[in-house]
Chains A and B, each alone.
Chain A
Amino acid sequence: MSGRRIVITSGKGGVGKTTTSANVGAALAKRGHRVILVDTDIGLRNLDLVLGVEKRIVFDLVEVVEGRCQVRQALIRDKRFESLSLLPAAQTREKEAVSGPQMVRVIDELAELADYVIIDCPAGIEHGFRNAIAGAREAIVVTTPEVSAIRDADRVVGKLTEAGIPLRLIVNRVRPEMVKSGDMMSVEDVCEILQAELLGAVPEDEEVIDTTNRGEPIVLDSTHRLAEIYDKIARRLAGEIVPFTNLNAPGFIGRLFTLWKAG
């Protein structure tokens, strides 16, 4: 049976698509699923950095599409997660180097090799976005609880719906304290505005940037609270009904409060 093809998109840049792709992919791999991550951000590739494999890139998506190598030759096996691989994007090319039908063929091929093909989508709604959703059968829309992000996510939800791709929402970088003080929308508000089903809510954490800089996805640290949250997301994706973590619990608020004491 061929694998699921899930695109991770957002519209707005910087809300955490790539970080989400890496961590959700790794969480699924930790649970034993075969996962292939695909970076479709040609020219601005970052998934390889976030996974820490940038030095092992020999072939990329564009070379696969152009037939200069086989898909298997381009896949980079993650050394930490048995069943996780990455198909990197090209850095020195443009998004027009790949067409929708070409992308579909690559995703089809990958779906024969994995249980989950996770497609990391570039920011925006231009050619790169269209390519990324071309091969997908499901979508995860990532947004932050912030007006501009929600507006862009709304646009993307519209496009996905037009394309007939079912979607679920991940609300990222939530600051429970700001929700409490009324300075930030709640997760429920966001889902309501976007009329979308919630897949998971991830709190803001100052350590995430460092992990992406170092190429060590946060789920590597099983004791970290975010690892548990991504694990739950992975379980929900796999079909389990899992209760959502209460972000208002003291553990969360206490941490964030110390960050902004001066603020």
Chain B
Amino acid sequence: MMRALESPATLLEPLAEPAAARGRAIVITSGKGGVGKTTTTANVGAALAAAGKRVVLVDADIGLRNLDIVLGLESRVKHHLLDVLEEKVSLDEALVRDKRSENLYLLAAAQTREKEDVVTAQMKALIEQLCERFEFVLIDCPAGIEMGFKNAVAGAHHAIVVCTPEVSAVRDADRVVGLLPSAWRPELIINRLRPQLVRKGKMLSVDDVNGILRLPLLGVIADEPGVIVATNKGEPLALDPSSETGAAYRAIAAKLAGENVAAPTVRVPANGSFFSKLGSLFGGRA
């Protein structure tokens, strides 16, 4: 007769509690440019901060920085990531506090330098340092899969892949997922969905996209012209209570923070001329 073996875990003494809860470093990446990485980083960060979490946003797009613009902080940036890595200034001097929230900080990228100037090991060390001070470290990854991408990924523990419902974006996202450490389970945000076009068969559906990517779905965000306006004004939609897109980002933030939010998050502008039923977004193309 076989005796059930006791699982080893039950025989061990419980481990001591870790000294302090360390922050999570999440890289927001996509492969394809222009799908909404920076907007997502800013908005998820702002939403997390609004919910009381201590958040730092790191712009890893050296030479093509944009995170500061999206947050409306460009005039407050005095020092940047490379200054810190090269020890010209301390981390505290470089971190820019957000205009609106005392929980949100930005570490901007350098504008006049190159991505190859960043040493991967230093980047990792910096992110580790940030994880000791913040609950969430969101790293805005540059487009592509070159050195900039590798450095942005280097310090992170987790990834969010942003993808739009377009064939090229899906291909690039797939490539990126293949390059991330295989132990990670990256989550997906589908951005700029247009339910009307999906219904007409002129745009990929959520199923089309995730049928290839096969990632846990963190959220789906419908396209909205307000996003451009918000970017130009430097005011993240996540802080606008009347914005549907903002609500979607807030729900994503809640999920990341571990709250039990019904998945996936889909918000469709509640107006008669847009199709508002959830089901239609998941249908195949006509």
Taking Cβ atoms with an 8 Å cutoff, the residues of A that contact B are 11-15, 18, 43-44, 46, 49-50, 91, 94-95, 122-128, 146-148, 151-152, 155, 175, 178, 183-184, 206-207, 209-210, 212-213, 260-263
Residue B168 is within 8 A (CB to CB) of chain A in the complex: yes
B142 near A124 (CB under 8 angstroms)? yes
Interchain CB contact under 8 A, A152 and B66: yes
Q: Are B34 and A15 interface neighbours, CB within 8 A?
A: yes
Kindly provide the distance from the CB of B277 to the nearest chain A CB, expressed in whole angstroms: 15
Indicate if B114 sits at the interface (CB-CB under 8 A).
yes
Which of A178, A260, A261, A262 has the most B CB atoms < 10 Å from its CB?
A: A262
**B221 nearest CB across to chain A (Å):** 15
Q: Is B38 an interface residue (CB 8 A)?
A: yes
B64 touching A125 by the CB < 8 A rule?
yes
* Bound CA span A151–B269, Å: 31
Within 8 Å CB of B145, what residues of A?
A: 43-44, 94
- Which of B78-86, B223-231, B251-259 faces chain A? B223-231
Closest Cβ neighbor of B285 among chain A residues: A213
Identify the B interface with A (CB < 8 A): 31-35, 38, 63-64, 66, 69-70, 111, 114-116, 142-148, 166-168, 171-172, 175, 194, 197, 202-204, 224-226, 228-229, 231-232, 269, 271-274
Q: Contact: A213 with B63, CB < 8 Å? A: no
Leading 3 A-B pairs by shortest Cβ distance: A13-B33, A14-B34, A13-B143
CA gap between A262 and B270 in the complex, in Å: 9
A183 to B232, Cβ gap below 8 A? Answer: yes
Binding site secondary structure of chain A: loop
Q: Are A212 and B168 in contact (CB under 8 A)?
A: yes
Given known A-B contacts A126-B144, A148-B38, A263 and B226 have beta carbons under 8 A apart: yes
B175 touches A12 (CB 8 A): no
Q: Which residues of B contact A11 (CB under 8 A)?
A: 64
A43 to B174: give the CA distance in the assembly, Å. 11
CB-nearest residue of chain B to A95: B146
With both beta carbons as reference points, the residue of chain A lying nearest to B272 in the complex is identified as A262
Taking CB atoms, residues of chain B closer than 8 Å to A18 are 168
- Knowing A146-B228, A146-B232, A262-B274, say if A124 contacts B168 (CB, 8 Å): no
Q: How far is the CB of A229 from chain B (nearest CB, A)?
A: 20
Q: A91–B224 Cα gap in the complex (Å)?
A: 33
Q: A213–B166 contact, CB under 8 A?
A: yes
Q: Which residues of A contact B64 (CB under 8 A)?
A: 11-12, 124-125, 151-152, 155
Contacts of A122 in B (CB 8 A): 144
Q: Known contacts being A148-B70, A210-B202, A262-B271, is A184 close to B34, with CB within 8 Å?
A: no
Q: Which among B33, B147, B175 is the interface contact of A123 at CB below 8 angstroms?
A: B33
- CB pair A207–B202 under 8 Å, yes or no, is yes
| B175 in complex: contacting residue of A44, A155, A175, A261, CB < 8 Å | A44
Chain A positions within 8 Å of B147 at CB level: 126-127
Contact A178 B204 (CB under 8 A): no
B143/A123 in contact, CB under 8 A: yes
Contact across chains for A155 and B166 when beta carbons are under 8 A apart:
no
25 CB < 8 A contacts A-B: A12-B34, A13-B32, A13-B143, A14-B34, A44-B32, A44-B172, A49-B167, A91-B175, A122-B144, A123-B33, A123-B34, A124-B33, A124-B142, A125-B64, A126-B114, A126-B115, A126-B146, A127-B146, A148-B231, A151-B66, A152-B64, A210-B197, A213-B166, A213-B167, A262-B272
From known contacts A123-B33, A209-B203, A260-B225, infer whether A155 and B63 are also in contact, taking CB-CB under 8 Å: yes
**Hey, which chain B residues are within 8 Å of A152, CB to CB?**
64, 66
